[in-house]
Amino acid sequence: MEIKSKILSVFNDPSEELFNDLALEIYRIQSVYNVPYRQYLSLIGRVDDQIEHYSEIPLMPIRFFKTHRIITGGEWVPKNYFLSSGTKEHNVRSTHYVRDISWYDVVSTKIFDYFLPQEYEIVALLPSYLENEHSSLVHMVRQLCQRNTTAKDPFFMYDFNGLHDLVANLLDNTDKSILIIGVTFALMDYVEKYPIDNPRVSILYTGGMKNRHKELTQEEVLSHLRKHSGNSKIFAEYGMTELLSQAYNLEESYYATGQTMRVISKDINDPLSNIDYGRTCQLGIIDLANINSLSFILTEDLAQVHSPREFQYMGRLQQSDLRGCNLIYDLS
């Protein structure tokens, strides 16, 4: 069976056994045919390890997506890529080369439908992301809108009035519920200007603050949104340029991963080591969908992992907090 078909089978069988088998199969491929990852494994002395469980697979620091072409197999030339949004403080941006853009569409849509199976009219408030023509978030939302939305132009950057008018029009002229997918800082500003108090309107927030507000905790964000959103449901999405899979939070304390994704609790001071569930950690991710790039990633996010598919996001690690393999290895 082709590897993509095997990966898609986890949507019907999300068992740990199947995920583990696939993760180990991908590891055997990427440890040989992904040159930066192979070099990284050599540097940390983990070549030809006898690994039996995906939690033992070494994770490569995510920052290498900023400095190296992370692809598996040298026989294909990258034509599509996702580019992280830049900030004034961080001009170096991650690049995720994507061999088959339709693969991302299939995986992200299946995960979205699993968590949010209701049929929505989807509208989007994505300032800063819409300005990045290679944003993975914008691409995903476009696919969802093309499938779900009757509005001619459901994308907005700074036009709060236009978004408010479109939502009102959709409420008057359709029977479907409305889902506003937006960047966190923009949604916080929007609901202040146009409070939402309609059970047919839900909010899905994603992304960081992008220097528009001080960095807030998840509870602070939710408190602000709830204050101005009445009976509306509030959801959250966790994704990033370097991942083709996503996690969602449906008014719960924890994020739940899509079927193609697992999370691992890594020691902040020694990110080559795992730590127990429930402790503050550096978040490690295994994403089966990254078959053509890299499936084994050490993020720069703080979290508490509560199970292989549940975690609580706690913010970004500061550069001064990054230790161990994040700083001492140079693959150049």
Q: Which pLDDT value is given to residue 88? A: 46
Average pLDDT over residues 196-203: 92
Average pLDDT over residues 32-42: 96
pLDDT band at 318 (very low <50, low <70, confident <90, very high): confident
Asked if 128 and 210 count as a contact pair (C-beta separation under 8 A), the reply is yes
Q: Which pLDDT value is given to residue 233? A: 92
The structural domains of the chain, with segments of one domain joined by +, span 3-99+254-328, 103-238
pTM of the model: 0.92
pLDDT (tens digit, 9 = 90+) per residue, 140-187? 999 999 998 888 899 999 899 999 999 999 999 999 999 999 999 899
For the cut 70, the answer to whether the pLDDT of residue 323 exceeds it is no
For the cut 90, the answer to whether the pLDDT of residue 91 exceeds it is no
Q: Which pLDDT value is given to residue 225? A: 87
CATH tag, 103-238: 3.40.50
pLDDT (tens digit, 9 = 90+) per residue, 106-136? 999 999 999 999 999 999 999 877 778 899 9
Which contacts of 172-176 are long-range, i.e. CB under 8 A and separated by 24 or more positions? 174/121, 174/150, 176/119, 176/120, 176/121
pLDDT (tens digit, 9 = 90+) per residue, 248-304? 999 878 999 999 999 999 999 999 999 999 999 999 999 999 999 999 999 999 999
- Supply the mean pLDDT for the chain: 90
Sequence-ordered list of residues with C-beta below 8 angstroms from that of 218, at least 6 positions apart, any chain: 236, 249, 312, 313, 314
For the cut 50, the answer to whether the pLDDT of residue 328 exceeds it is no
**How far is residue 208's CA from residue 116's CA, in Å, rounded to a whole number?**
22
* pLDDT: which is higher, 167 or 315: 167
Three-state DSSP class for residue 327: helix
